[in-house]
Amino acid sequence: MHKIRTLIAHDNKDFKDKIVNLIKTIDDTQIVGITEDGMETYEKIIELMPEMVFIKFDLKNMNGLEIIRGVNEKLKNIPIFNIISDRNLDNDLKEMIKIARTNVNSLIQEDEPIEKRIKSIYEEYIEYNKL
């Protein structure tokens, strides 16, 4: 069965570990990379070509918008980006959606309970791919 290739990019070890552990409990997923700074994240996305990325917006060296711009220039099929942030990203989010052609699946606030949210993101993605 096809596994959803996933990359996680976050600079807070506890939050990153929480996401990793949640994703490991979801069937049909495979974590192909874990990063913690923007440049490394950008390079791993290009190298590993994941289908789904959970990425903290404000990473060292590059932010989420810069990463999406760069990935869009390099890859024909860019991954679904799930942006994690602790601040309002209205303007940046609009631009990310425009660049990624709706491949920004969701905005996750760092202070919200993410357990159900991450599971529902994968469920929506699986249903979308069935169409």
Instruction: Show the domain range for 59.
Output: 4-130
Mean pLDDT of 99-117: 78
Q: What is the torsion angle, in degrees rounded to the nearest 10, for the CA atoms of residue 1, residue 107, residue 42 and residue 72? A: 90
Identify whether the C-beta of residue 68 lies closer than 8 Å to the C-beta of residue 78. yes
Q: Please tell me the total count of domains within the chain.
A: 1
Q: Which pTM does this prediction carry?
A: 0.90
> Rounded to an integer, what distance in angstroms lies between the CA atom of residue 72 and that of residue 63?
14
CATH number of the domain within which 56 lies: 3.40.50.2300
pLDDT digits (tens, 9 = 90+) for 16-59: 999 999 999 998 899 999 999 999 999 999 999 999 999 999 99
